[in-house]
Amino acid sequence: MILDIRDLRVKLGSSEILKGVTFRVRDGDMVALLGPNGSGKSTLLRTIFGILRPEAGVVYLDGKKITEMSVTEIAKEIGYLPQETSEPELRVLDVVLLGRTPYMEGLRLPHKSDIELARRALKKVGLDGFENRPFTSLSGGEKQKVFLARVFAQDSKILLFDEPTSHLDISSQIDIMEIIRESVKDRRSALIAIHDINLSASFCNKIMMIKNGRVVHAGTPEEVITPHNIRDVFRADVDVRKHAGRIYLVPKIARSPDKGKRVHIICGGGTGREVIYMLDEMGYTVSAGVLNTLDSDWEAINEIGGEVVAEAPFSPVSPESHEENLKLIEKSDLVILSSIPVGKGNLLNLKAAFKSALQGKLLIVESTPFSERNFYGEEAERIYRQTLELCRWVVRDVKDIRGMLNEILG
């Protein structure tokens, strides 16, 4: 079933809440509707369900105008979970059974098949055996799941959710999004107004951002969730990072003013990320090398826009890169050697560290003993010992660096 929304304009009182919204939702779509408070998310959902009448524009359900359908007809095609919370003193099964209302004519006596469908919906949300419990005795997450089951019992193809995860703990939030994603697989589609951008990026295949009653950005999470768009729509400064193929936001902590000092970091395999982010935040100009592209340290230095010497993935450090690395070291006021494992591929990095120790500007982070990460042999051990002896500062934990930097760099 296709939900087709064309140039929807909605007024509440004298203020125009939606100013021309156009989009389509197809089977299998799980669309997150993002936008600040008051941007028109709830209004959009309520207009789609037919609770509010649009000033102009049309909502089509498989080509049929929603304004020409009765509320019962709409309820058979669209399942809508409003934000409204309540504490009905009913049995769980009776709450779920209310989802069968559009199919129960006249006296509204539930048929055996209605009860069967309600039970199945409860099972789907993982609340087997809750049928006879009083609704009011459930936890917040369970209550929301019962409401989800109510929507599923309605057996409609298009699902609208208005902030289904707000006020819930993290595990319930994940459960709810997981349940919605499962249900969408079954030739359904879902449109979810939500505030949690990370949650929507993890679960939804499409994102729509609304600002002042207009859809301003739409597409896949990767396309839409960018620091630029977030600043545009939410007026918030964030960094967008990627982990295990999914993107997530981290708030940008106000960066300290530029300190005018350069720090070079010899790292790799994720041993330097933390230092890179920390120094950047503190206002130092950070560079790194030699790294392999796509290494997570490489991603980190790129993210902050620092200079980097890099090799292709899994390639050893070439003499040319080593030279370039030494040049960066030459320019730096401080060099940090992170707890990298040393092997044939990156022995030159250890040598670069030795050279910086000779210049009296090396700090070593030794969070694990060198012997445990030495995969090269005796020569590496010897170079490391000499470096250690020459170097002026050694810390066990990255966090210890923070306090020392002012002293070291002045």
Give the interface with another protein as residue ranges (CB under 8 A).
13, 46, 49, 51, 70-76, 79-82, 84-86, 88-91, 94-95, 98-99, 101-102, 104, 107-108, 134, 147, 150-151, 154
Q: How far is the CB of 115 from another protein (least distance, A)?
A: 14
CB of 110 to another protein, least distance (A): 9
Instruction: Return the number of the residue (104 or 278) whose C-beta is nearest another protein.
Output: 104
**Nearer Cβ to another protein (71/394):** 71
Q: By C-beta, is 119 or 261 nearer to another protein? A: 119
Q: Return the number of the residue (56 or 253) whose C-beta is nearest another protein.
A: 56
Q: Which is nearer to another protein, 83 or 374 (CB)?
A: 83
Exposure string for 154-193, b = 16+ CB within 10 A, e = fewer: bbbbbbbbbbbbeebeeebbebbbebbeebbeeebbbbbb
Rounded Cα distance between 22 and 6, Å, is 4
Q: Smallest distance, Å, CB 269 to another protein?
A: 52
Q: What angle do CA 327, 328, 334 make, to 5 degrees?
A: 125
* Closer to another protein by Cβ: residue 12 or 358: 12
Which residues, 6+ apart, have CB-to-CB distance to 129 below 8 Å? none
Closest distance to another protein from the beta carbon of 1 (Å): 17
Nearest approach, Cβ of residue 106 and another protein (Å): 9
Smallest distance, Å, CB 272 to another protein? 52
Minimum gap (Å) between residue 99 Cβ and another protein: 6
Tokens of 142: 């369970």
Q: How many residues does the chain have?
A: 410
Q: Are 409 and 262 in contact (CB under 8 A)?
A: no
Helical H segments across 262-343, by residue range = 273-282, 296-303, 319-331
The residue (of 54 and 99) whose beta carbon lies closer to another protein is 99
* Bond from prior residue into 224 cis (ω within 30 degrees of 0): no
Residue 241 pairs in a beta bridge with 248
Give me the DSSP letters along 324-337. HHHHHHHH-SEEEE
